[in-house]
Amino acid sequence: MFKLDELHEAHGVSGNENEVRTYIKEAATELGYRVKIDHIGNLICYPIDSLDWELQTLVTAHMDEVGLMITEIKGEKAKFTTVGRIDPRNLPSTVWTSCSGVKGVIGLPAPHITKDANSVVKVEDLRLDFGDDDIDVEVGDTLVMDSCSFTSGDSFFARNVDNRIGCYALLKLMENAPPDTVFAFLVREEVGLKGISALFNTLVIADQIRDHINIDVCLEKPGVGPCVVLKDGGYLASRDLIEHFKEAGAHEFTVGLGGTSDHAVSQVFCNSIGVGIPSSYIHSGVGKINLKDVDKTVALVTEVLYHL
């Protein structure tokens, strides 16, 4: 019905999430949900027989990933800017694929003709080389790093585990969720939590939802299981929801390192809590998670949903 590697392959740079949204929409429909896409692009999935006033709990994950956007094209080369936070050290000698399927490389001169081969080149000094000046790209096109996903033991590696793995967990949750639960796959988290802000500020959903659980990655070591995020930046978890997670068997609690996600916005509107799937190497060409952590996250959140 839906597969993790297929979900990973979908292009979903912030502001250009249509490909991944289409994939998730088809999966949600097959799972028996009625779906709605709001004005900013959030995909909201309602239980097929539910009435709006019956909804109590919202579970979310963001669809978007970091990437590049073309800002200027001259011949076969293009200037670009980053969309979301990307370490410039990860950019040289990488291959990128545009939303139209065109591949380009960020190249550097040979080290023996470079004055300071140990320095980090600034983003504004790098160029995408498409190899031909007759290419199907234009200013505003987004690109993702051209890297394959693969599994090794219990580990799964992919460029966009942040937060495609959260989307996968939501789809698994939707297979066995209580009928008062609505799921939302959010846009533009990587550029300032825009999707969740639009969802709560412009839709009546803010009046329907009592509790919100957001699933994202966290910067803990993969393999320790799901982490309940107590604090991160200006976010503080709901004490009531913390107790529900404890009763459901949660044992890993963490104070974040400043990478606050969508639960920071929703805490203003309802009881809110973040659940982190431990990850390594995010915002690069090859992030890492542990598949057992995903299964444990789904089991834990399912238990909490029925507690609520």
Q: What is the pLDDT of residues 279-293, one digit of tens each?
A: 999 999 899 999 999
One-letter amino acid of 308:
L
Q: What percent of the chain has pLDDT over 90?
A: 79
**Stretch 254-269: mean pLDDT, rounded?**
86
Residues in the chain, how many? 308
4-65+149-307 CATH fold: Aminopeptidase (3.40.630)
Separation in Å, CA 281 to CA 120, 173, 220, 222, 297: 19, 26, 11, 11, 20
Sign of the CA dihedral with 67 first, then 45, 264, and 294 last: negative
Return the bridge partners of 304, or none.
none
Q: How confident is the model at residue 308 (pLDDT cuts 50, 70, 90)?
A: confident
Q: What torsion, rounded to 10 degrees, do the Cα atoms 144, 189, 39, 4 define? A: 60
**Which tens digit of pLDDT belongs to each residue from 185-219?**
999 999 999 999 999 876 656 567 899 999 999 99
Domain ranges in the chain are 4-65+149-307, 67-112+122-145
pLDDT at 115 over 90: no
Question: 1-10, 258-267, 283-292: which range is least confident on average?
Answer: 258-267
Residue-wise pLDDT for 14-70, tens only, equals 999 999 999 999 999 999 999 999 999 999 999 887 665 577 899 999 999 999 999
pLDDT for 147: 87
Flag whether pLDDT at 112 surpasses 70: no
**Domain 67-112+122-145 maps to which CATH number in 3.40.50.11060, 3.30.750.210, 2.40.30.40, 3.40.50.300?**
2.40.30.40
Q: What percent of the chain has pLDDT over 70?
A: 93
Q: Which amino acid is at 39?
A: H
DSSP tag of 28 = H
